[in-house]
Structure 1
Amino acid sequence: MAAYSDPERAVWRGDPALLYRAGELTVVVLPQRGGKLASIVYRGREWLTQPRRPLLPHAELPPLLVDGDMFGWDECAPTIDDCAVMGRRLPLHGDAWDQAWSEMGDGWLAVRGRHFAYTLRRRLSIGTAGFRLDYRVSTAEPMPFLWAAHPQFAASPDTEVVLGSGAEPLIDRFGRGYWEAREPGAPIRLSDLPPGTSAKLFVTPDRPADRAQLIQPDGARLTFRWDAAVVPYLGVWMDRAGIGPVDAIAIEPMTGFADSCASAAEADCVLWLKPGQAASWWLEVEFGEARKV
């Protein structure tokens, strides 16, 4: 069971870091770099993609995540795709991933939106076989809010993903037909994609999912579970080094059904926030051997 305890303060590749430890699990968080989870090591395995060069100074991060330090686990809010919402232009991957997050006490980190008056908070609690992230968002103005976790998990061609129960209908956002012949319940493999390509899948919005599983070829697995009452949508980005520098899989629980906040708002498939009314949700990660979720 994950519980909050004060992290150690450390330096990770030159950046101030918060180090969470429990048993054989270690999680590294970089508050000054968008609150990024930079490293998740369980029983000696690094689960996240890692930087292939020295980290850029925070002041030199480019406006696009894909041009910067593309590794680890970022927070995307209040959109993933760049789009115009209520007359305001939102950048690609949102405006939380490249800001410094502030320590608010009692383990909470917080960031304020640049384009809307929202505040997103997050707290990490850790146990010996997993960890939990608690989130809270509030706003001073009405707005649609599309949040997505964006963990870039290190993967090989034989890494498998099970979304929800595995039987839910899937939508291939890019429409390339890689999964047209997939049997219901069959796992999704990174090897389904040709090298040098990427794809984004969604579970259809009429089938809210509350879990997903990533299974490595040697049987090691991680299981995602989250609060589907607030986060009912699920996407997965699969990359054979088509966008990022290495093979990666991002399991993305989302508060909107689309990468674009504007599209999700138009379809009324997004979390709408009202002034003075906060929304809270949680996400849990558990490690173990391969088994059904």
Structure 2
Amino acid sequence: MVSILYKPTGKEWLLDSGKRPLQQPEYGSTFTDWDMSGWDECFPTIITCSSGVDQDISLPDHGELWSLPWAHTIENNTVVCSIKSPKLPYRFTRRISFQAADRIRMDYRAENEGEHPIHFLWVPHPQFAITEPTRILLPENIRQMLCVFAGYTLTVGETYAWNDVSLLSPLITGDARKFYYDGIVPEGWSGLYGEDSGNYLIVSIPTDKVPFLGVWIDEGMYNDRATCALEPSIGYYDSLETALSNATAQMIPAKSSYEWHLDLNLGSENHHK
């Protein structure tokens, strides 16, 4: 997906490719070598690691899906995108439908077509454009977040009061950081709020299916503009090997599937219908 536009205010939420060419990446390559724009899916890992099925099969950076072409069909009000792994016996399907004028539903299905269980983790990887002072919204009872990538100013393994680190600037500092909620989230939503424009975006998931939450912030360390990814997560965190070792990876039995969904709500406090 290359664009999520809230038409009433003209707010474009996804970062475009800018000066980087938008072209088909090479499978197995490094995510940061390409356009770094739009909305990708990270599955069955984020960080390069073993597949967990066969130690001889390694999974590429940011998983398999972002670098591969998808098959797609349009069924009534739904865009159905699917992809088969070149290495593992699974099919991944994402159905995008429009539930209301201000709400997008993404229904996901990971199907194991093989004879053995498959383990995975998943996060969406939207490169949301930060073009104004923007507050990352989390449920009120999430007061602290654990730093797992520190950049230049924080410390890995430290927890930070969310109010102190949740305001984003569009300025390019060359820094970046990533947080996770340490444990299963108490509520299944996160969001962004533009403090000048009043535009907002809310990502909602079912916590029984997607129990973890990460937040990635890049002020120009990897991307060329300020961006943020809200990453509700199946598995904790970033590496499938890590998620297997701490028993948070999800498992799909042979000849079975796992399904979940994500809702995206758009709006503006300053827009009145």
Q: Letter of the aligned partner of 2:173 in structure 1?
A: P
Q: Distance in 1 between matches of 2:168 and 2:178?
A: 12
1:149 aligns with 2:128: no
Q: Which has the higher contact order (CA 8 A, sep 6+)?
A: 2
Unaligned residue ranges in structure 2 (runs of 5+): none
Aligned twin of 1:201: 179
Aligned twin of 1:40: 4
Q: How much has 1:190 moved relative to structure 2?
A: 2.1
Aligned twin of 1:137: 110
Q: Distance in 2 between matches of 1:231 and 1:129?
A: 22
Q: Percent identity?
A: 29
Residues 71-94 of structure 1 deviation map (CA, whole Å, 9 limit, x = unaligned): 011111100011123302111101
Aligned twin of 2:91: 119
Q: How much has 1:192 moved relative to structure 2?
A: 11
Contact residue 205 and residue 262 of structure 2 kept, 8 A: yes
TM-score by length of 1: 0.79
Contact residue 160 and residue 216 of structure 1 kept, 8 A: yes
Q: Letter of the aligned partner of 1:235 in structure 2?
A: G
Q: How much has 1:163 moved relative to structure 2?
A: 2.5
Q: Aligned runs of 1:203-282 on 2, under 5 Å?
A: 203-218=181-196, 219-282=198-261
Q: How much has 1:161 moved relative to structure 2?
A: 0.4
Q: CA RMSD in A?
A: 2.7
Contact residue 169 and residue 226 of structure 2 kept, 8 A: no
Q: Distance in 2 between matches of 1:80 and 1:233?
A: 14
Contact residue 230 and residue 255 of structure 1 kept, 8 A: yes
Contact residue 168 and residue 204 of structure 1 kept, 8 A: no
Q: Distance in 2 between matches of 1:56 and 1:133?
A: 23
Q: Aligned runs of 1:63-102 on 2, under 5 Å?
A: 63-86=29-52, 87=55, 88-102=57-71
Q: How much has 1:105 moved relative to structure 2?
A: 6.2
TM-score by length of 2: 0.84
Given the superposition, is the C-alpha separation of residues 194 and 267 from structure 1 closer, same or farther in structure 2, using an over 3 Å criterion? farther
Alignment partner for residue 161 of structure 1, among 123, 136, 153? 136
Residues 210-258 of structure 1 deviation map (CA, whole Å, 9 limit, x = unaligned): 1001011222111111122111111010010111111000001111111
Aligned twin of 1:128: 101
Contact residue 145 and residue 160 of structure 2 kept, 8 A: no
User: Residue 16 of structure 2 aligns to a residue in which SS?
Assistant: coil
Q: Distance in 1 between matches of 2:167 and 2:156?
A: 10
Unaligned residue ranges in structure 1 (runs of 5+): 1-36
Given the superposition, is the C-alpha separation of residues 249 and 54 from structure 1 closer, same or farther in structure 2, using an over 3 Å criterion? closer
Q: How much has 1:61 moved relative to structure 2?
A: 7.6
